[in-house]
Copies of this chain bind each other. A is one copy, B any other.
């Protein structure tokens, strides 16, 4: 019973990752390019390397507002090692937090494929996808944000993608959907940073199932800083979050008579 892996060959004094000796990568290939190598299997071109670097930086941190930062700091507050608290933050990265990269990329990749098969224009395809989502009552992932109406990260990522000639059909379809949403909705729903990464990583040929990996890889930097700040600047078990919660369960009552019977007697 043996199995294979295409990631790293481990031999005494010899480590080869995706074909390259680790001592050749260290200090020669920028870390963000090495991330690309690990996820894609080949080294990036200079443009692809710059793009993946920008994507990682766009994910670093959003203060203490998202679940991942609150979870990491709360867990740190229980008095645990740094990796345990950072991992708790990673656990919070789910379908509702960072998840729009994964599902947004899937949606765009299927949309572009269908657009080509059905020989539709971007505008036509966008209009159809928005209509279908509305009929199925499905939320379009990657549009709108709790805090930002014009997310500075989104704008910057798209501008780099354009400059480097990486932006292609997926970015274009994404922008066409944004336009269609603006035309047909009362509320503005601009592409958010998750949506931008979904579109750009799709134009870079990444599998949509890696969507949350980009987010994790960037966000772990911010989470490490949060946990370190929590561990060094605050006392454990401090009242970290103002949870103002009211009990509205059943009214207080005595146990029914059946209980308090056999249990709890000496020598039972």
Chain A residues near B (Cβ < 8 Å): 1-10, 12-32, 34-35, 38-39, 41-43, 46-47, 50-51, 53-54, 56-58, 60-68, 70-71, 74-75, 77-88, 90-99, 146-153, 155-157, 160, 163-165, 207, 209-210, 212-213, 216-218, 220-222, 224-226, 228-229, 231-232, 234, 236-237, 239-256, 258-260, 262-268
Per assembly, the copies of the chain total 4
Q: How far is the CB of A225 from the nearest CB of chain B, in Å? A: 4
Q: In the docked arrangement, what's the CA distance between A224 and B216, Å?
A: 9
Q: How far is the CB of A216 from the nearest CB of chain B, in Å? A: 6
A88 and B63 within 8 A (CB): no
A255 and B61 within 8 A (CB): no
Q: In the docked arrangement, what's the CA distance between A226 and B18, Å?
A: 12
Chain B hits for A15, CB < 8 A:
61-63, 152-153
A74 and B71 within 8 A (CB): yes
Q: How far is the CB of A90 from the nearest CB of chain B, in Å? A: 4
B160 and A27 within 8 A (CB): yes
B75 and A91 within 8 A (CB): yes
Chain B hits for A71, CB < 8 A:
71, 74-75, 78, 88
